[in-house]
Amino acid sequence: MSEERQLLAMLIADVAGYSSLMARDEAATLSGLQQCQSLLERMVGAFGGFVVDTAGDGMLAAFPSSVRAAECAIAVQTAMREEAASTAMQLRIGVNVGEVVRRGTRIFGDAVNVAARIAAVAEPGSVVLSANAHEQVHGKITARFTELGAVPLKNIENPPRLFALAGGTSDKPPSAGTPDAPVRQAIAVIPFANLSDDPAQEYFSDGISEDIITDLSKIGALSVVSRNTSFAMKGKTLAVPQMSREVGARYVLHGSVRKSGSRLRISASLGDGATGTNLWAERFDRDMTDIFAMQDEISAAIVSALRLTLLPEEKRAIERRGTQSIDAYNLLLQARFFRYSNTAKDTRQALQLAQQAIAFDPRYAEAWAVVAAAQIALHEMTGGGDTGLAAAESALRLDGTLALAHAARGRVLCGLGRYEDAFAAHRLSETLDPDSYDVQFLFGRTCTELGEAQSAIDHLEAAARIAEGEFLALALAIQSYNALGRRAEAADASRRTLARIERILAQRPDDASALFHGSSVLAELGRRDAAIAWADRALAMAPDEPRGAYLLACTYALLGETEQAVELLHRAVQQMQPRYVTWVRNDTDLESLRDHPRYKAIIAEMERRLERDETG
């Protein structure tokens, strides 16, 4: 198994006084341990981490950021205190961040050892962070930590300064709203309804909703449900308590947008899912030029309604817009709307709109990042056009914190054969925004292309969890499960992918991309007739879709129709960059073609083209 160096936050938890508990009552202790480990596994998954090991009375988990690891640790201890009546156990939790060696889901390195030693010196029921981890979470979560100084750690020559959660050993969890409260207020922004006379204005209502999500995410006292989870509620008419349960957040912001010429009306309402009461509502009737001020006012009103404190740096972050040009902003909202499609046509539209936004404001970093993402997508679909590298680097010169730009740059660098630089860019993008679908999906694509199957699965499954209504990440994960010989998991991923595709087709029967991918998934599941029927529908609907021929080659290869599959593959590679020879060689869908003379000729021709490109 290949190794990968990665910056991760480690959480280690163990049971305080485990040996004594076992000596007193072995059966009850083992039962309690099982409850603790079950709780830990649920919490780790909920906060975007993965379990590395559950040996003995402890657990090692890893997270893409210290903030996630610390939030998980606090949530675990809060839950343990609430369940104190059902178990006498108390956990000690240590959190550290550092570079580790990762082999699949296993991690190794001094940073892991330090985390273990930190947990060993923690008080029962407490959370202790290393100085590095504390530095990364300070000001980003509402919990307070008390410095313990440089506590001696077993076999650690230069122990780090440690920070313990204030009030962490209390018998009762701090009440919400107190300075020591470890749990942030959970809120979801349901996509605002488009009440404009023109249905095409939906891009604007969606864009406003996305930007409110982004603004609220800058407030440390709030835990904001991801964009994709919230957008799964789009168009649903439900009572606030039901919406609250669906998205897993107590507070729900919903509303509507009506845009007519230069006039704009935004109606917004904040509901409490626990009580069903309305906490705040307002209607804004303004000129389009006041759009940024309206967004600021909505964020401030939510903070006030929830009786939170908006820190000065949070206020500045919310008010800091990527552009002051209303025209550029409006164009970028349209570009975002089209970029979520999987077709070449809509991706080209997104590219053109983002480029127009840049014409209004050349210093609009997010617009450059969208250009980069669209260009790399088109380059991969069609084999031509700009790679996206220049646009990504332009975005990063303007704003080095844009995760999307780093992720797009990583994909481009992979295509240029600069694999170490590509992984470094992907790791940085994940550190900046681990909850971004684009970040996880593009990292997963790179891992898939290079045959890093386990890492590909980790990132693609993460992307699928973030974007519950999207199917591409799961569809791609099937290949890596098969590469590792995990057929049952491949079948499960196929079924989950198909369920998502069927939901999309129920809403958009003319979605050719969904049909192309669905045909190969049906073939993977052995549903021959349905696979061929979907393939025929997709081809009739979009005969020139660049990725269509390749996906159909996969379909027919899986069905054992090798001659038809190899002919489609031949057509497909004419539009592919020769560097994708690695992808074609690693694609398990094409396994039945490996010994076919024409398949071998196709691979040889791609290799010749690649060699010419590299030497020319």
Residue 171: predicted pLDDT: 34
Q: What is the pLDDT of residues 135-150, one digit of tens each?
A: 888 777 777 788 887 7
- Locate the domains of the chain by residue range: 4-165, 185-321, 508-616
Could you identify the residue written with the tokens 């509502």? 281
For domain 185-321, is the CATH number 3.20.20.80?
no
Most confident of 32-46, 216-230, 272-286, 315-329: 272-286
Q: Which of 334, 264, 335, 268 is nearest to 297 (CA)?
A: 268
The mean pLDDT value for 77-106 works out to: 76
Q: What is the pLDDT of residues 466-489, one digit of tens each?
A: 777 789 899 999 999 999 999 899
Claim: this prediction has a pTM higher than 0.85: no
Burial profile 43-69: b = 16 or more Cβ within 10 angstroms, e = fewer: bbeebbbbbbebeebbbbbbbbbbbbb
Q: How confident is the model at residue 599 (pLDDT cuts 50, 70, 90)?
A: very high
Q: What is the pLDDT of residues 258-296, one digit of tens each?
A: 988 888 999 999 999 888 899 999 999 999 888 888 888
User: What is the spatial distance between Cα 339 and Cα 331, in angstroms, rounded to a whole number?
Assistant: 12
Q: Which of 405, 388, 404 is nearest to 396 (CA)?
A: 405
pLDDT beyond 70 at 306: yes
pLDDT beyond 90 at 612: no
Q: Residue 383, by phi and psi: left (phi above 0), alpha (psi -120 to 50) or beta?
A: left
Residue 474: predicted pLDDT: 92
Q: Average pLDDT over the chain, rounded to whole?
A: 84
Residue 175: predicted pLDDT: 32
Residue 179: predicted pLDDT: 34
Cα–Cα distances (Å) from 61 to 170, 183, 431, 441, in that order, read 24, 20, 16, 22
| Contact assessment for residue 568 and residue 595, using Cβ atoms and an 8 Å cutoff | no
Q: What is the pLDDT of residues 507-557, one digit of tens each?
A: 888 888 899 999 999 999 999 999 999 999 998 988 887 688 889 999 999
By three-state DSSP, how is residue 347 classified? helix
Residue 546: predicted pLDDT: 67
Residue 83: predicted pLDDT: 61
- Tokens for 369, please give them: 């990042």
The mean pLDDT value for 180-190 works out to: 68
**SS in 3 state form for 109-123?**
CHHHHHHHHHHHHCC
| Multiple choice CATH, 4-165, 1.10.15.40, 3.40.50.150, 3.40.50.1970, 3.30.70.1230 | 3.30.70.1230
Q: Which residues contact 103 (CB under 8 A, 6 or more apart)?
A: 1, 2, 3, 4
Most confident of 302-316, 360-374, 496-510: 360-374
Residue 342: predicted pLDDT: 67
Could you identify the residue written with the tokens 């998934």? 521
Q: 508-616: what CATH class? A: mainly alpha
87 vs 148, residue with greater confidence: 148
pLDDT beyond 80 at 18: no
